[in-house]
Structure 1
Amino acid sequence: MKDILKSLNYDIIFTNKGNIIIGNYIIIQRKGGNGSLSKTIPKDSIKHPGNNIQLKLKILLMV
C-alpha cells in the first residue's frame, strides 16, 4: 500500500458519511447493513458485523 501511495498523486477527502477517499482510486468506508443477521449484537457495538470497514480499489483506473 505504501508503494502504491508513493506512486500516485493524490488528495485525501473525508465525506459527510464518514468515508475516506484517497485520490481517485481508493475508498475506505463502513460496511453498513441493516443488521438482520446479527440480532444479538447491538448495532452500536464494535463487534457488530455492519461496523466492519470495506476497502475499495478502482484497479481498472489505476492501470
Structure 2
Amino acid sequence: MGSSTTRQNKKFEEALALFDKETPDRWHNIAMCVGGKSAEEVRRHYELLVKDIMQIENGQENCH
C-alpha cells in the first residue's frame, strides 16, 4: 500500500479478516476501512503479501 502507516496496516489486517473472498466489493470495503487508499492499492498490497509468503515458504529471500 505504498507508504502505509502502522495503523493502516492494522486496519488492513482486520478488514481482510472481516471481508473474505466471497464478499462483494471486497477491495472497496477493505479500502474504506483502511482509509486513504484505493481499492486497487489494497488489492495490490494483498497480492504482494501473498507473493512474499509464497517466496518465504519456498525458501526464497524477500527483497522489497
Name the TM tier (shorter chain).
Answer: under 0.3
Q: State the TM-score, normalizing by the size of structure 2.
A: 0.26
Tell me the TM-score normalized by structure 1: 0.27
Larger radius of gyration: 1
